Amino acid sequence: MAVHTVASSTSASAVDLGPAAALSCRECGHRVPLGPVFACEECFGPLEVAYDFSAYDTETLRKRIEAGPASIWRYAPLLPVPEDVADKPNLNPGWTRLVKADRLAAELGVTGGLYVKDDSGNPTHSFKDRVVAQALEAARAFGFTTLSCSSTGNLAGAVGAAAARAGLRSCVFIPHDLEQGKVVMAAVYGGDLVGIEGTYDDVNRFCSELIGDPAGEGWGFVNVNLRPYYAEGSKTLAYEICEQLGWRLPDQIVVPIASGSQLTKVDKGLRELIELGLVEDKPYKIFGAQAEGCSPVSTAFKAGHDVVRPQKPDTIAKSLAIGNPADGPYVLDIARRTGGAVEDVTDEQIVDAIKLLARTEGVFAETAGGVTVGVTRKLIENGQLDPSKTTVVLNTGDGLKTLDAVAGTGLTATIRPTLDSFREAGLA
């Protein structure tokens, strides 16, 4: 594959993003050349990356993946990135552990095999490193020098770190009242971090304005004008889960929903593996998980609606607190088409689920992981998730970033440094 040097965003035809062939509209199928655009000029539908995989032979591809690096770049032939991506300075995220969660399974009554895909192990401790790594390659290809985003917290840290590593400037925008762990994680890499007085949805609107303004010129917003590329990173969750299961599809998978992008791309990744012949073609169900305090998609699902009505978020699961989720309607389609569901849990159930996962499996999840584990439990109780089937639950972030959620957890006892004092505490 030829490697081109691209000087500016105007020479889009020379862009080398590997197997990515064009952008195509999810609604009307209209195709445009690869570029920093995200909405269809014909119908305003979202653009997504279209590939040419026609030259791949299943066995050769499988071997090439298996011989690849222990990161998302083992799947470079299926991503919008240049072939030599692993040699460039980036954070090499992914290939996180798939934990066989037998003790959690026993607690929840799952007999068909329960797994936790633990993305807290990524370089900035959330799944966001997967998506930012794609956006970074697109930013390099289009000649952007500043990396930016609107973030509910985790994305800000992932962008700051990726930009630092790549030697780009970063300037990211967050709601001003996020958890301290996320603010520090975002600031420490030395980029600019701007708190906005408002919700995530206000931050996002602000960024859309900035893109159209001279002040934002030369800026790559990973989740706005680079969104088609960014979103593809979530496919790697599906690829890794199947490869780690021995190139098998799970029967059921529980995915958290913020904008809904991750869930739609997990589905896209599974379908690609089937089409490429890397896994057997059999049905799977995708379940979406939200917090009750920000549940626009689960509310629509349960009401049987196709339209997602925006909400004003109020939940401890701040990384999922998007009241007007861009991919909400597509999530509804996927949950219904695959026979899955979308469910939500209260903040109290989120905290209980964080503690349950920690005490059964030694995995400390952020609130988003409490949402998926809590929703899994609820779906089993409701009879919507089949406990006799292989089930994968995503944990997308690290509990150290949301310590406030488990603030009541602490010392069992405080004693003097004597054996007598220890015996008195009744712990012997």
Ligand X SMILES: *Cc1c(COP(=O)(O)O)cnc(C)c1O
Interface with ligand X by CB under 6 A: which residues?
126-128, 154, 256-262, 319-320, 366, 368, 396-397
Nearer to ligand X, 71 or 262 (CB): 262
Nearer to ligand X, 132 or 278 (CB): 132
CB of 320 to ligand X, least distance (A): 6
Nearer to ligand X, 130 or 140 (CB): 130
Q: Are 325 and 331 in contact (CB under 8 A)?
A: yes
CB of 260 to ligand X, least distance (A): 5
Q: Which residues of 27-58 are buried (b: 16+ CB within 10 A; e: fewer)?
A: eeeeebebbbbbebeeeeebbbbbbeeeebee
Residue 88 amino acid letter: K
CB of 35 to ligand X, least distance (A): 22
CB of 393 to ligand X, least distance (A): 12
Nearer to ligand X, 164 or 326 (CB): 326
CB of 342 to ligand X, least distance (A): 12
The two three-digit tokens of residue 313, written as one number: 């978020």
Nearer to ligand X, 77 or 93 (CB): 93
CB of 55 to ligand X, least distance (A): 30
What DSSP state is assigned to residue 45? Answer: P
Identify the CA nearest to 37 among candidates 246, 257, 212, 191: 212
Number of helices (H), then strands (E), belonging to the chain: the values are: 14, 13
CA neighbours closer than 13 Å in the CB half-sphere of residue 280: 9
Nearer to ligand X, 324 or 390 (CB): 324
Query: How far is 84 from 73, CA to CA, in rounded Å?
Result: 9
Nearer to ligand X, 112 or 329 (CB): 329
Residue 64 amino acid letter: R
CB of 174 to ligand X, least distance (A): 12
Element (H, E) at 49: strand 47-51
Neighbours of 312 (CB within 10 A): 11
φ and ψ of 14, to 5 deg: -90, 5
